[in-house]
Amino acid sequence: MGEVTKLIHKYLRHDKKFPHVWCPGCGIGILLGSLIRAIDGCGFKKDEVVLVSGIGCTGRLPVYVDFNTLHTTHGRALAFATGIKLAKPQLKVIVVMGDGDAVAIGGNHFIHAARRNVDLKAVVVNNSVYGMTGGQYSPTTPYGAKTSTSPYFHIERPFKISELAIVSGASFVARSTVYHVKLLDELLKRAFLKKGFSVVEVISHCHTQYGKINRIGSAVDMLIWQREHAIPVDKAREMKEEELTDRFVIGVLQDRDFPTFEEEYEKVRKMAKKFTEI
Amino acid sequence: MRKKKKGKEVLLQGNEAIVEGAIRAGLKFFAGYPITPATEIAELLALKLPRIGGTFIQMEDEIASIAAVIGASLAGAKSMTATSGPGFSLMQENIGFAIMAEVPCVIVDCMRAGPSTGLPTSPSQGDVMQARWGTHGDHPIIVLCPSTVKECFSLTILAFNFSERFRIPVILLVDEIVAHMRENICLEDENIEIVNRVKPSVPPEWYIPYEDTPSGVPPMANFGDGYRYHVTGLTHDVKGFPTSRPEEVDPFIRRLFRKISQNFKELQLGESFETEDAEICIIAYGCVARSAKRACIEARQRGIRAGLLKLKTLWPFMRTEVEKVLQRARVVIVPEMNMGQISREVKRVNRGQSKVFTINKVDGTPITPEEILLKIKEVY
Ligand SMILES: Cc1ncc(C[n+]2csc(CCOP(=O)(O)OP(=O)(O)O)c2C)c(N)n1
Ligand code: SF4
Ligand SMILES: [Mg+2]
């Protein structure tokens, strides 16, 4: 059996009603493969992995894989995950979200999860649009782009998700695209093995909505766009600010150590036990 | 007869008794966001939960609080949050999630006068219908309402018991007066059995997480226990996978209702005071039931045969008990600190047997025994 077949057998849910919901060529499928390879590479047991998601095309990912899986409400996945992790810290809690999920409706939870540093792994699929609801603009839609709710042109400036995670206090932050799939495998694995709140931003494409309305072309054209606009972090360091406009940096953007919420709370428990009943 | 040993009495606030009840019930996780008049619950649990190996966390808002509570419960911890009207409104979407995914948890709503920010420190009973229908879609719910500090303790335990047994969020609806009032209570004397969720007895490969059972409640595996399954707010089949097939959707939604309706009797917690021969009967709950009891006593001193049915379960509505009252009493009065939320239900089941009057107070002050007595005399 080939490596891919083995992984499919081991991790996909064969009693789930396939086919999946995604459009042919969507980047979320590439991420699913990468996620499975990374988890397998980390050597986690299936029983100890909890895969949590919000709502959106990205939110549909967990149902296909044989872990403890939780498909929550739009934007709230990190808050649900916080409860799971604190109630059972031995679990590996991985959260997949769309860009709207993570930084629009869930933006408040996102920055606070980063600040709080609960040991959660956040994987954000940034396709610059609301895929599931039909291509409306999201907080990461670029200025000037067309979407179904900015039919003339988009007038807001986009969030940079990774940079937002860094200033909010995340322990580990990295970015890849679904084109750079080897890098994506590696970054996910590093994030999963890192202690503390870790974010991997995955630049992806929604060719059926965003690609179509902006006349970028097919899924392949959008993958080529990713290849041409991504700058590896080492190379970016040697480049000038203005050379980086309209580009984005891929690789590990932040890697630092803070005590986790769980570790700090253990100290609280120890101290609390010293005090007698009041 | 052997005399029951009496334990030590303590003077507790309603909110403090809720905390004691929750801990007795096995609470291990609390997530909340500060709001008057519920804050004492969070503060006390921040102090007490770490001592017993539990976890307290103050989240960024009430949406996150209820989400974390549901997550913790899925991982196996008995979980609770506490809030007031504005926060309760924010929680509604995820309360629906807990109903849909059948995740046990307890939500305390210490009611204050609304709508909106309203009167933050004034009492009200304005959230009765929100507790019933606050989240979207057709759904069952259990709502309990204490009127004494002792009931704050016992009904909190029952709230956990019901939520674990029926896999449903249970709402404890407390008014500001009961939440902040202090009364003597002996915690040791309260012996209430503790109920835990039924876990699967089959091996993981046989486990069907949302399978129908005679009780309507499927056994619940906790995340990490070796039973890997899917939990979603989408309408799902017996395996937990999303479905839109009518032949799968219909039995699922009906089972959610059936697991509650077939246990109606047990869920009806009421207390009757002098209702046997009452010509005039008051139906009340929360702090108003206290004033109503006083009014009944005084009415009887004046030769008026008055009685009281106190509702401790608000939802599912105590139809059978209320019907008995409506059949016996000539006149029924429903005093409430809202414009008439439970009285609507009473009128709905009345069918002309009795005359139903209401007292509605919405100025942020309690309904007094005198006001009820006045009404009794007026309609007697
Ligand atoms: C509270 C709430 N508001 C709105 C929606 C509708 N909705 C579903 S998915 C979605 C946006 C999804 O976009 P994103 O998070 O970027 O995920 P994608 O589909 O692009 O992967 C919206 C607005 C919802 N499900 N819940
Ligand atoms: S709508 Fe866009 S994001 Fe959703 S599956 Fe299709 S291509 Fe992917
Ligand atoms: Mg998106």
The percentage of chain A sitting over the pLDDT mark of 90, rounded to a whole number, equals 94
CATH number at residue B70: 3.40.50.970
Which residue type does A117 have? Answer: N
Does B64 sit within 8 Å of A79, measured CB to CB?
yes
Question: Do B312 and B163 lie in a common domain?
Answer: no
Helix/strand/coil percentages in chain B, nearest 5: 40, 20, 35
Does A268 sit within 8 Å of B75, measured CB to CB?
no
Binding-face residues of A in 252-271 toward B, CB within 8 A? 261, 265, 268-269, 271
The ipTM value here is 0.97
- A31: distance to nearest CA of chain B, Å? 20
Under 8 Å between Cβ of A188 and A38:
yes
Phi, psi of B283 (to 5 degrees): -115, 120
The protein residue with its alpha carbon nearest to ligand 1, atom 2, reads A74
d(CA B22, CA B40): 14
Q: Check whether the bond before B366 is cis (ω within 30° of 0).
A: no
Q: B168 is written with which tokens?
A: 């449903």
Helix/strand/coil percentages in chain A, nearest 5: 45, 20, 35
Residue A17 has what pLDDT? Answer: 67
Residue A276 has what pLDDT? Answer: 63
The protein residue with its alpha carbon nearest to ligand 1, atom 26, reads A74
- Which residue range is the domain that position B73 belongs to? 9-186
- Which residue range is the domain that position A194 belongs to? 3-277
| DSSP single-letter state for residue A204 | -
* Residues with pLDDT less than 50, chain B: 1
Look at A145-154, A237-246, B28-37 and tell me which has the smallest mean pLDDT: A237-246
Establish if B230 touches chain A: CB-CB under 8 angstroms. yes
Which residue type does A52 have? Answer: V
| Residues in B touching A16 (Cβ below 8 Å) | 230, 241
Count the domains in chain B: 2
What average pLDDT does range A217-235 have in this prediction? 97
Q: From ligand 1's centre to the CA of A55, what distance in Å?
A: 5
**Is B45 within a domain?**
yes
pLDDT single digits (tens) A87-111? 999 999 999 999 999 999 999 999 9
- B101: distance to nearest CA of chain A, Å? 10
Count the domains in chain A: 1
End-of-domain residue from the set B186, B207, B235 = B186
Question: Do B162 and B36 lie in a common domain?
Answer: yes
End-of-domain residue from the set B135, B159, B186 = B186
Q: From ligand 2's centre to the CA of A29, what distance in Å?
A: 10
**Is B210 within a domain?**
no
Q: From ligand 1's centre to the CA of A22, what distance in Å?
A: 14
Question: Do B170 and B308 lie in a common domain?
Answer: no
Torsion of CA A27, A31, A37, A41, to 10 degrees: 140
Whole-prediction pTM:
0.98
Phi, psi of A157 (to 5 degrees): -90, 145
**Is B107 within a domain?**
yes
Q: What are the angstrom distances between the C-alpha of B263 and each of B146, B166, B258, B326, B336? A: 21, 10, 8, 23, 27
Q: Check whether the bond before B37 is cis (ω within 30° of 0).
A: yes
| Best residue among A32, A74, A95 to mutate for probing ligand 1, ranked by most atoms within 8 Å of CB | A74
Residue A130 in contact with ligand 1 by CB distance below 6 A: yes
Tell me the three state secondary structure of residue A260: coil
Closest CA to B28 of B72, B70, B83: B72
Q: Are β-strands B78-83 and B27-32 bridged in parallel, bridged antiparallel, or unpaired?
A: parallel
Closest CA to B72 of B22, B43, B31: B31
Of the two residues A160 and A14, the one the predictor is more confident about is: A160
Under 8 Å between Cβ of A75 and A98:
no
End-of-domain residue from the set B146, B162, B186 = B186
Q: How would you class B366 by CB atoms within 10 Å of its CB: exposed for 0-12, middle for 13-18, buried for 19 or more? A: buried
Residue spans of beta strands (DSSP E) within B42-104 = 55-58, 78-83
- For B294, other C-beta atoms within 10 Å of its C-beta total 16
b (16+ CB within 10 A) / e for A9-31: eebebeebeeebebeebbbbbbb
The protein residue with its alpha carbon nearest to ligand 1, atom 4, reads A74
Q: Which ligand is nearest to the CA of A27?
A: 2
Bridge partners, B174 (sequence order): B110
A188's CB contacts (< 8 A; 6+ apart) are A34, A35, A38, A123, A200
Question: Do B23 and B127 lie in a common domain?
Answer: yes
Does A84 sit within 8 Å of B71, measured CB to CB?
yes
What average pLDDT does range A232-249 have in this prediction? 95
Question: Do B20 and B169 lie in a common domain?
Answer: yes
Residue B1 has what pLDDT? Answer: 45
**Is B236 within a domain?**
no
Question: Do B154 and B36 lie in a common domain?
Answer: yes
CATH number at residue B317: 3.40.50.920
Establish if B374 touches chain A: CB-CB under 8 angstroms. no
Which residue type does A201 have? Answer: E
d(CA A257, CA A89): 18
CATH number at residue A177: 3.40.50.970
Bridge partners, A231 (sequence order): A249
**Quick one: closest CA in B to A15, which residue?**
B239
CB-CB: which of B50, B64, B72 is closest to A109? B64
Does A265 sit within 8 Å of B55, measured CB to CB?
yes
Question: Do B176 and B39 lie in a common domain?
Answer: yes
